[in-house]
Structure 1
Amino acid sequence: MNLKLDSTVTLNNGVKMPQLGMGVWKVNNTGAAQSVEWALKHGYKAIDTAKQYGNEVGVGKGLQKGFADNGLKREDIFLTTKIFNGDQGYQSTLDNFEGQLKNLQTDYVDLLLIHWPVNGTYLETWRALETIYKEGKARAIGVSNFNIERLQDILKHASIKPAVNQMEFNPLCQEVDIKNFCDENGIYLEAWSPLGGGSVLKDPRLQKIADKYNKSVAQVILRWDLQRGVITIPKSVHEERIVQNADVYDFELSEDDIKEINGLDTDKRSLWYGDFFWSGNPDGYKDSVEDWKD
């Protein structure tokens, strides 16, 4: 299997998306700017953020610096952001998305996702995403944290099929039923928290496999993602780890090792619907990045 950092998958609308990128969850604006600069310096082509992370301004600054330092253009990078829970609804999504574009210093994103399926509004939010897509302000649209029931609801009412469903996905949380549903319906599964928030990295079974390939456990997990056909966006604020996370193209896991990792699934999620209040703002985050103090 010949893969490299700029390897892409083809979404259901024909847009090509890098299969490995970098996420910036739980990173402040300053850290996000620096991480994005490092990612572009070391060849990353995809960056994933969200208004709810409070760091779109930092990502925008990091992209501009990375473009200037590395001779890149906006079209060289695949940028993803998400609709904030508190902004959901048709007109509210349209209005607030303009501010997200301004913070990111761009006039379009490559992938726009509904961050969580807020009850009573996510269908109207999806209708807004279809409008944004038709206006050319998003090259592809999708969802995040949608279970099968909510995916079916979207598919029943949508005129444009979601291209991606971004889910918590790692060896201990493999969302088998959701992945199978996505595969059957031409929707790519994208992994958030692919390294399990770090807890998976201490698993002795994974360490044994990593020793076999002279790789780290993190590198084995990311390679497993790629071979499973999952888009993956590991997060790091350390330059050396950003580099290491991309060093996964010079080895291939055997079928037996893939099966062994597949067998580690405990179906234990760190976050799910029961952890959220569906009125809009579950984590107490402010509505605007201007309210954040780095």
Structure 2
Amino acid sequence: MVNDIRKRSLFNGIVADLAKDVVSDKTHSSISHDMDDPSPSTSSFSNNSTTVTLSNGVRMPLLGLGTTHSGGYYHDAVLHALRYSGYRMIDTARRYGVETELGIAIRDCGLPRDELFVSTKLWSTDYGAGVESAFRNQSAKLQVDYLDLFMLHFPDVPEWLGSPRQVREETWRRMELLYDQGKCRSIGVSNFEVSDLEEFEDFASVLPHVNQCEFHALYDPTELREYCSQQGILFTGYCPLAKGRALGNEIIVKIAKKHQRTPAQICLRWSIENGIPVIPKSKDVARIEENAQIFDFSLSADDYQLIAALNSFSNKVLKHEDLSTKWNLPDGYKLAGRVYGIPSEQSIDSRPINKQDTKHRIQQLPSITNSPSMKHKGF
């Protein structure tokens, strides 16, 4: 591997093609939302691709920058990824507590808005009647007037909001309304299992374009992926390196030596060759550069067989937990003050959530029957 960062950057012309492919040929305002003519498959991918195509025709980069609050926020690393390493997708969430900081990076990186794919997630305490205000607040923090992807973070619903099934239905109808209004180019979910996704068959006019879940070389939820594929939902992956656990696996190391690559590059390449976007996070500029060098080699059939043998549920890093104990924790609570590279006055708002502010009752959506996506569903 070449260690000199300046030499690494010479290879980034391949990754920089992401800038050309992030959006479709149409402008944001003219993107078609006609779900009567969906793409026949979940995504469009070839070994030379730097993007996948969602069921509504929107192109999504295969490589993005993760920004989870574990490990802190490093502003210079984010700017380097956008300016010099070819990254064009930012994945975040209200819960991570860094949307304000990322908004500064989006503003200052020097890239046109339509070359970026900005993705964030709606936290469960904003479900129901809180969707629209959450969208306004989160997009304002990110300094954008539309989102490329807006997702429900979990299927879990706080008990004070009411019936989980009803809350999810109302929440999704409001997400569809944002989509119909052009405020979100695509809408999706995260951490949804098959049983959660099956609910959408009863009430959704627009099925989720994306389901983002844990996915890496040591853990491949094949049944969930197959269901998503059948429904035209793009399965995307977080935790692509299994929080570092995959990097020391002897099979991954063996394949890396064969290709003269790093274990991280093997894991990321394996994901994108499966047509699954990845969002590795790093505070280290050299690692950010390294993670971008995955578009100029391919894995062999033998490599695939070796990696397939590693798949086990026991390798799942993030176990589903009872979120009811965490509803009132402040956004970005795992940051623990580790926000670097920006003025202190731009640091996160760490005030705890006020239950009364987020106590939404199920309400009838205003003008919902005028929404284009609702008309053919009888609402």
TM over 0.5: yes
The AA in structure 2 aligned to 1:194 is P
1:53 counterpart residue number:
96
Q: 1:249: Cα distance to partner?
A: 1.5
Shift of 1:122: 2.2
| Aligned position for 1:210 | 256
User: Is 1:36 aligned to 2:78, yes or no?
Assistant: yes
Further displaced range: 140-149 or 174-183: 174-183
Instruction: Kindly provide the amino acid, as one letter, of the partner of residue 216 in structure 1.
Output: T
User: Does the 8 Å contact 2:188/2:210 carry over to 1?
Assistant: yes
Equivalent positions of 1:119-198 (< 5 A) are 119=157, 120=164, 121-198=167-244
**Distance between the aligned counterparts of 1:216 and 1:130, measured in 2?**
41
Residue 28 (structure 1) shift = 7.7
CA distance in 2, matches of 1:81, 1:162: 14
State the 1:157 CA deviation: 1.5
Quick one: which of 131, 135, 149 aligns to 1:93?
A: 131
Residue 276 of structure 2 is matched in structure 1 by 230
Q: Which amino acid aligns with 1:236?
A: S
Tell me if the contact between 1:28 and 1:58 (Cα under 8 Å) persists in the aligned partners: no
Q: Residue 31 of structure 2 aligns with which residue?
A: none
CA distance in 2, matches of 1:65, 1:276: 38
Residues 111 and 141, structure 1, Cα contact 8 Å, conserved in 2? yes
Unaligned 5+ segments in structure 2 are 1-12, 19-49, 158-163, 334-347, 352-379
Deviations 1:119-163 (A, max 9, x none): 402222211211111111110000000000001112332110111
Deviations 1:180-224 (A, max 9, x none): 111111111111101000111110111001000000100000000
Q: Larger relative CO (CA 8 A, sep 6+): 1 or 2? A: 2
The structure that has the greater radius of gyration is 2
**How far 1:46 sits from its partner (Å)?**
0.6
Q: C-alpha distance in 2, partners of 1:157/1:238? A: 44
Q: Secondary structure at the match of 2:236?
A: strand
Count of residues in correspondence between the two structures: 283
1:103 to 122, 125, 141: 141
TM-score (normalised: structure 2): 0.71
Verify the 8 A CA contact 2:69 2:332 in the aligned structure 1: no
Q: Which amino acid aligns with 1:254?
A: S
Q: Check if 1:12 corresponds to 2:55.
A: yes
Alpha carbons of structure 1 residues 146 and 60: separation in structure 2 relative to 1, 3 Å: same
Q: Shift of residue 30 of structure 1? A: 5.0
Deviating more after overlay: 124-133 vs 72-81: 124-133
- 8 Å CA contact 1:88–1:280 kept in 2: the answer is no
State the TM-score, normalizing by the size of structure 1: 0.91
Superposition deviation, residue 285 in structure 1: 2.9
Quickly say closer, same or farther: Cα 1:122–1:35, change in 2 above 3 A: farther
Matched, 1:285 2:321: no
Identity in percent: 36
**Amino acid across the alignment from 1:141:** I
Query: Root-mean-square deviation (CA), in Å?
Result: 2.1
| Contact map agreement 2:127 2:171 (CA 8 A) in 1 | yes
In structure 1, what residue type is equivalent to 2:66? G
1:270 equivalenced with 2:307 (yes/no): no
**Structure 1 position 27, deviation (Å):** 5.5
2:117 matches 1:78: yes
Please report how far the alpha carbon of residue 290 of structure 1 lies from its aligned counterpart in structure 2 after TM superposition.
Answer: 1.5
**For residues 70 and 106 of structure 2, what CA distance do their matches in structure 1 show?**
15
CA distance, structure 2, for counterparts of residue 105 and residue 148 of structure 1: 34
Gaps of 5+ in 1: none
Corresponding residue SS for 1:231: coil
